[in-house]
Amino acid sequence: MPLEIYDIVSVSYEPDCSITEVRGSVFNSDWSPASGVYFKVWNDWGWSAISNPSTDGLWDVFLYDKPREMTWHVRAVEGEQPVSPIFTVHTDLDCEKGIQRARINWKKNRPPLPVYPYRVVGIDSHRTCGVTALSGTLLTADWSPVSGSQVVVWNDYGWSHMSEPSVAGYWEVFLSDTPKEGTWYAQVVEYGQAVSSVVKVVTDEDCQQGPQRVQIDWQQLPTVPDSTTFSYEVTDVSSEKDCTRTEVWGTVVGENWEPVSGAQVQIWNDYDWSLTSEPSVIGRWNIYLYDKPREMVWYVQLLDRGRPVSPVVRVVTSGDCTVGPQRVEINWKRRPIGPMPPEG
């Protein structure tokens, strides 16, 4: 996943019979205009261009001197390094009601949390009135056991211990042969490098009240192919305020805009939480997240038979429904296959 320094804050469209272009504003994290930021625009047929550096927060890329039907992809770049999510816009030939000009506004965000290859898929605790220990399983993305990886456990007082290499996916760190009170931190390690976020758990010396054994299960994230190999692209992202819920939803269509049933969408955040939608029905999908506004950064991706088939979309919801958004719509379309069509 690219380093995402800039987020999309708003998008608008308008018709224009004399031009096809993308443009917008870019802001620093304090909303002051950002200068010196570049934007790359490309299509599915190998054409690309990079804007001049933004001046007083303004940037633009001229595409055609007339309406042009095409799907364009836009992102901020620093040299060859992408520094924002991809935004996809579709322009058309109808300059009375269609889209020829897109305005995309961006804002610099705080550095994202590290993205580790393992996520937590389960935490369970048990009262045993005997030994105190942490244990669990390490699994691949397809739920096969991982052997040879380790888990390091430590507390707030300088004590730490590394598990033996996992065998058939199982790992364990023994803490005490009696119930022991403590706050413990656990993290998966491979080749001396942390490969998961830190999990904090608590054990209790009173085996009638709290746990002595805690099981933590980790699973590897699916391997994400390069964006050029994805078979689906984002055609639209929009959002709205809602004081009663937090939700993501949208549509999935084929190359000829026909509804696609059976596709699933996965959503996750920076805190090892994830959820996969029910299969799409007549092209529609949704994931209900909360029964109230919730501030959070979410990552959303289309799946086909459990494998990623689209770029990751990064969206932000707000805990304040007077500001929004709480509901985000993401629509996907299958990429076309074949030669670039002639100008129409």
H-helix or E-strand spanning residue 89: strand 87-91
Q: What is the pLDDT of residue 341?
A: 57
State both tokens at 242.
């809602």
* Section 160-180 average pLDDT: 93
Give the pLDDT confidence of 130-158 residue by residue, as tens digits.
899 999 999 888 788 899 999 999 999 99
Contact assessment for residue 69 and residue 100, using Cβ atoms and an 8 Å cutoff: no
Strands 38-43 and 199-203: unpaired
Torsion from C-alpha of 172, 147, 160, 180, nearest 10 degrees: -10
16 burial class (0-12, 13-18, 19+ CB within 10 angstroms)? middle
Q: Which residue has the tokens 């100008």?
A: 343
pLDDT computed for residue 191 by the predictor: 87
| Residue 26: C-alpha distances to residues 11, 35, 36, 69, 75 (Å) | 12, 8, 10, 26, 12
- Taken in order of first residue, the domains within the chain and their CATH numbers are 6-108 (2.60.40.10), 118-220 (2.60.40.10), 227-334 (2.60.40.10)
CA dist., res. 19 & res. 99, Å (int): 10
Encoding tokens for residue 324?
């929004």
Mean pLDDT, residues 263-284: 89
**Tokens for 55?**
């001046």
Q: Diameter of the chain by CA atoms?
A: 79
Element holding 109 (H helix, E strand): none
Query: Tens digits of per-residue pLDDT, 218-265?
Result: 988 876 554 456 889 888 888 888 999 999 999 999 988 899 999 999
Helices (H), 45-146: none
pTM score, whole prediction: 0.43
Percent of the chain with pLDDT over 70: 93
d(CA 222, CA 199): 21
Which of 2-11, 50-59, 303-312 comes out lowest in average pLDDT? Answer: 2-11
d(CA 194, CA 191) in angstroms, rounded, equals: 9
Of the pLDDT bands very low, low, confident and very high (cuts 50, 70, 90), residue 207 is confident
The number of beta carbons lying within 10 Å of the beta carbon of residue 325 is 18
Are 80 and 48 a contacting pair, CB within 8 Å?
no
Q: Kindly report the average pLDDT of the chain as a whole number.
A: 87
Please tell me the distance from the alpha carbon of residue 281 to that of residue 29, in angstroms, as a whole number: 39
Residue for token pair 């993401």:
330
- DSSP one-letter code for 271: T
The tens digit of pLDDT for each residue in 80-113 reads 788 888 899 999 998 888 899 999 999 887 655 5
* 146-175 burial code (b ≥16 CB/10 A, e <16): beebbbbbbeeeeeeeebeebeebebbbeb
